[in-house]
Structure 1
Amino acid sequence: MSARLSVITIVYNNVKDIERTVLSVLNQTYTNVEYILIDGGSSDGTVDLLKRYENRFSVLLSESDKGIYDAMNKGLALATGDYVLFMNSGDEIYANDTVTKVFATAEGADIYYGETEMYSEAWVSLGQRRHQAPQKFSWKSFQYGMSISHQAIYIKRSITSPYNLNYRYSADIDWIINAAKKAKHIVNTHQYVAKYLVGGVSKQKHMDSLKERFKIFNHHYGFLPNLLNHAVIALNLATYFIRHRRTND
């Protein structure tokens, strides 16, 4: 019997992008999918659009919430699948056969992960993320930056926990690390699994997000190692931009 996947999408006032996300889930060739939509009480027509597909959702919940991670916790609490995947408004599962291919790479993993392709607001490809997914992933892999995007990781629901609402911008990093600490079998699918719309709260509040990430990494890795790791991050970032500038010249 195939594993059941709970896909959770949260959305608030994003009528422009939500349908693209919804269709990327509903059009999957993998059939054992539970689709949960959590809307934050949108007033721009998002809910009306979602209601067109309501009979194909497992859950459609529209009510006010206390922010992104509160909404994600609502979705997580409603999920019944063996695995969970967060595919937020504006993002997409990479192709119609992606979920099928992910679960075909290995049987019974605790975590499956892959690469992410970045897209602009005009939905033009910007290529691969600067942080490529590591060949092997563990809870220590985020020491030098978030190397796997939230949309590109399938986690066994039994090893997940609620998002820590003390974090406003980067609770997803803490959530993934906590799950990875419990994981015994982590599989790199060696494929693109998600399309990510550049932007979001963490980009809009970039400095606040970076400060919060530093706090999260302190918690998991220790202050001194984290300080040294950030020196490496800064060096890698400078090297990346120098190379990128030379390529464009």
Structure 2
Amino acid sequence: MTSNPKISIITVVYNGEPTLEATIKSIGKQSYKNIEYIVIDGFSKDLTVDIIKKYDEVITYWISEPDKGIYDAMNKGIDMATGDYLWFMNSGDEIYDGTTLEKTVATWPNADIYYGETVMIDNNGHEIGDRRLKTPVSLNWKSFKKGMLVSHQSFIVKKSLVGHYNLGYQFSADFEWCLKAMKKAQNICNTNLVMSKFLDGGVTKQNIVPGLKERFKIMVQHYGLLSTLYHHIFISLKFFVFLLKHKRF
């Protein structure tokens, strides 16, 4: 692979009129230019498609058609992608700044996975603080015993390492997808960068209980029941401490 790999950035959206434009702009201003940008729209009923057409010079490919949910849309993006790496940046989320991708690729040429920090933003794009879970200095597949320590929006992975998202999960297929990728990875690079801005209040947060149930099931499959129960004691404690301190989760 060259030192200038192609990065396929994929945005899935449905009725994203209030949020999509900020996401597209964050991709369009990247100083790193070997980008393929794919937008998968779930046949929106608002002005989403008009916004997509407005940024034709930024978007490489796009489709607008019904899907079976967010992970089905992501799978369509994977099938369309021709890049060396995949990066999912959903509607409302943003790449942190214009130099983020350039700096990321430069940290460790040809890494299997790049990861970094994420900041939370509100509907107006204002930063409201860090994620509840802290990004580890060193990351491997066992790290997720403590929860999803790295946001999906700050996780760039070689396309050759991954397959489709498991449509058996409605809210936590990204957790399993990242975990499986890390199991295959030979080198995982901590960029020590804030890589993304994550819009607070998305689908996962709106479905926190069923999402956690799915995540527990995935953890049992990969780490075993006893290990999962043990680590959930600390996951639960940290959750309630963060909630009491910050009045959000």
Partner of 2:149: 147
Runs of 4+ aligned residues of structure 1 deviating over 6 Å after TM superposition are: none
Matched, 1:109 2:138: no
- Gaps spanning 5+ residues in structure 1: where? none
TM-score by structure 2 length? 0.95
Partner of 2:24: 22
Letter in 1 for 2:79: A
Letter in 1 for 2:142: K
Mapped contact 2:132–2:239 kept (Cα < 8 A): no
Partner of 1:82: 84
TM-score by structure 1 length? 0.95
Pick closer, same or farther for the CA change 1:243–1:199 going to 2, 3 Å.
Answer: closer
For residues 8 and 25 of structure 2, the distance between their equivalents in structure 1, rounded to whole angstroms, comes to 15
Deviation (angstroms), 1:190: 0.5
Letter in 1 for 2:194: Y
Letter in 2 for 1:105: T
> What are the equivalent positions in structure 2 for 1:176-215 lying under 5 Å apart?
176-215=178-217
Deviation (angstroms), 1:235: 2.4
Partner of 2:140: 138
Partner of 1:10: 12
Mapped contact 1:118–1:126 kept (Cα < 8 A): yes
Superposed CA deviations along residues 143-184 of structure 1, whole A, max 9, x for unmatched, are 111110010011011001100000000100000000000000
After superposing the two structures, state which structure 1 stretch, 229-238 or 209-218, moved more: 229-238
For residues 139 and 46 of structure 1, the distance between their equivalents in structure 2, rounded to whole angstroms, comes to 36
Across the aligned residues of Structure 1 and Structure 2, the Cα RMSD in angstroms comes to 1.2
Matched, 1:96 2:98: yes
Partner of 1:63: 65
Question: How many residue pairs end up in the alignment?
Answer: 245
Superposed CA deviations along residues 194-228 of structure 1, whole A, max 9, x for unmatched, are 00000111111111111111111111111111011
Deviation (angstroms), 1:242: 5.3
- SS of structure 1 residue aligned to 2:23: helix
For residues 22 and 56 of structure 1, the distance between their equivalents in structure 2, rounded to whole angstroms, comes to 7
Matched, 1:230 2:236: no
Pick closer, same or farther for the CA change 1:241–1:20 going to 2, 3 Å.
Answer: closer
- Gaps spanning 5+ residues in structure 2: where? none
Mapped contact 1:54–1:60 kept (Cα < 8 A): no
Deviation (angstroms), 1:123: 2.2
Deviation (angstroms), 1:27: 1.1
Deviation (angstroms), 1:19: 0.5
